[in-house]
């Protein structure tokens, strides 16, 4: 026995293993291919799905990698559905899709905006969420755009938005 409390047998076996074997980390059954990782990162950073911030100092750093911050333009759930339709061959679950979001692509918060426009749009989404929670609409009308499209015949028309349109006064596709 050595003064460190290690037996000579252990020392010999350790030396034998370290000289002859090279260990490789085993891949898990649920690991994602490098191609899928690349597709998901590109999908998150497309200008249709996230936007670059305007400030020069709005950056995020992780593990000594500094990247310019990007804000998501839609929820991760909606982006996942869109990604599944665009890349049908990439078999990926929602939880993995959410984990693979790059660190510099973040959800916008009201403090990140210098105008009140973001808060106004979020209030509309909160109202749509509450209407869904109360069970007044089906799951296909969870976001504010779908809810508006189900009630109005033309979401860009002022008359439809204010209930002055004769065609869409009685229209209610999302109601139960």
Q: What is the pLDDT of residues 125-163, one digit of tens each?
A: 788 888 888 888 776 777 777 777 777 777 788 887 777
Angle subtended by helix axes 34-45 and 76-86, to nearest 10 = 120
pLDDT of residue 88: 80
- Average pLDDT over the chain, rounded to an integer: 77
In the chain, the DSSP E strands lie at 50-52, 59-62, 65-68, 70-72, 105-106
Q: Are residues 99 and 121 in the same domain?
A: no
Share of the chain above pLDDT 90, in %: 11
Q: Give the whole-angstrom CA distance, residue 160 versus residue 152.
A: 6
Rounded Cα distance between 96 and 76, Å, is 11
Q: Give 99's pLDDT tier (boundaries 50, 70, 90).
A: very high
Query: 0.85 cut: is pTM over it?
Result: no
Answer yes or no: is 176 within a domain: yes
Q: Indicate whether 94 and 123 sit together in one domain.
A: no
**CA-to-CA distance for 173 and 146, rounded, in angstroms?**
10
Same domain, 104 and 39: yes
Residue 46, domain extent:
31-108
- Do residue 104 and residue 150 come from a single domain? no
Please report whether residue 5 resides in a domain. no
Residue 167 pLDDT more than 90?
no
Does residue 17 form part of some domain? no
In a domain, 8, yes or no: no
């Amino acid at each position: 026995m050595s003064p460190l409390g290690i037996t000579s047998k252990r020392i010999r076996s350790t030396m034998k293993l370290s000289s002859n074997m090279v260990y490789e980390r085993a891949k898990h059954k649920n690991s994602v291919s490098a191609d899928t990782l690349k597709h998901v990162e590109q999908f998150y950073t497309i200008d249709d799905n996230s936007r670059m911030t305007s400030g020069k100092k709005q950056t995020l750093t992780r593990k000594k990698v500094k990247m310019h911050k990007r804000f998501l333009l839609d929820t991760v759930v909606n982006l996942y559905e869109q990604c599944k339709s665009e890349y049908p061959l990439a078999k990926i679950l929602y939880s993995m899709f959410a984990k693979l979001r790059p660190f510099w692509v973040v959800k916008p918060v009201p403090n990140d905006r210098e105008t009140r426009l973001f808060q106004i749009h979020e209030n509309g989404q909160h109202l749509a969420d509450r209407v869904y929670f109360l069970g007044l609409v089906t799951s296909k009308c969870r976001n504010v755009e779908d809810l508006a499209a189900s009630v109005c015949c033309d979401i860009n028309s002022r008359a439809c938005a204010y209930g002055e349109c004769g065609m869409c006064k009685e229209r209610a596709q999302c109601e139960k």
